[in-house]
A and B are shown apart, each in its own frame.
Chain A
């Protein structure tokens, strides 16, 4: 099945700096890659996703890039704010093509 590796496990940045989280996947047939933000005590929230027919997608301060050849995708958060502090998960479809396999998560801390 799909194996998703995520790095780093923790990331601390100062407010206003950029944050980058990277994931790799193993199944070259995978073609959908979502990112989730999970705040303490809440369920994961879909914040951005990318499909394999594009290399980059942006939504205000967040962007995701995809390199299908290298089988990795990254989340970029610019001009970070304290409210960006949360755990971020990348994911890719499992062997069924419907459910998701998740990375281990990155705990992002944005300090004022």
Chain B
């Protein structure tokens, strides 16, 4: 399995500001994903991030609000822009162990509170 770390682990931010979350993997992976988990809820996919191409966003999520970078096969960032209290959530990155229908492993999450 892959070992995934995220920074920061938690943050409290003021509305209108932006936060960039980093995701680092201990091995090279093709597929990386960003999910959001609102308090007490399930996981919702924000976007799929593949190295060398633009991220693919799910319905309800847009690049201007959640820009993503994927500069190499072990690293990705998600920025939450112009934050509002509704953005308070856990943000999780995950990776797939192989190309398609492989096991998917999650990082520890970034707990974001927007005041």
Q: Once A and B bind, how many residue pairs between them come within 8 Å at the CB atom? A: 53
Size category, B interface: 20 to 34
Q: With A31-B101, A46-B1, A89-B43 in contact, do A99 and B48 touch (Cβ < 8 Å)? A: yes
Within 8 A of A (CB), among B81-115: 92, 96, 100-101, 103-109
Evaluate contact between A34 and B103: CB separation under 8 angstroms. Answer: yes
CB of B34 to closest CB in A, whole Å: 10
Contact indicator per residue, chain A 98-112, by CB within 8 Å of chain B (1) or not (0): 111111110000000
Evaluate contact between B42 and A43: CB separation under 8 angstroms. Answer: no
Within 8 A of A (CB), among B14-57: 31, 33, 41-45, 48, 56
Evaluate contact between A103 and B104: CB separation under 8 angstroms. Answer: no
Evaluate contact between A96 and B48: CB separation under 8 angstroms. Answer: yes
Evaluate contact between A42 and B109: CB separation under 8 angstroms. Answer: yes
Evaluate contact between B31 and A98: CB separation under 8 angstroms. Answer: yes
Does A45 have its Cβ within 8 Å of any Cβ on chain B? yes
Does A27 have its Cβ within 8 Å of any Cβ on chain B? no
Evaluate contact between B103 and A46: CB separation under 8 angstroms. Answer: yes
Does A82 have its Cβ within 8 Å of any Cβ on chain B? no
CB of A93 to closest CB in B, whole Å: 7
Q: With A89-B43, A99-B45, A99-B48 in contact, do A43 and B103 touch (Cβ < 8 Å)? A: no
Evaluate contact between A44 and B48: CB separation under 8 angstroms. Answer: no
Q: With A103-B42, A105-B42 in contact, do A97 and B100 touch (Cβ < 8 Å)? A: yes
Evaluate contact between B42 and A98: CB separation under 8 angstroms. Answer: no
Cα A94 to Cα B4 in complex, Å, equals 22
**A contact residues around B106 at 8 Å (CB):** 36, 43-46
Q: With A42-B109, A97-B100 in contact, do A89 and B1 touch (Cβ < 8 Å)? A: no
A-B CB proximity, top 5 nearest:
A43-B106, A43-B108, A102-B43, A32-B101, A102-B42
Binding site for B on A (CB under 8 A): 31-32, 34, 36, 42-46, 49, 51, 89, 93-94, 96-105
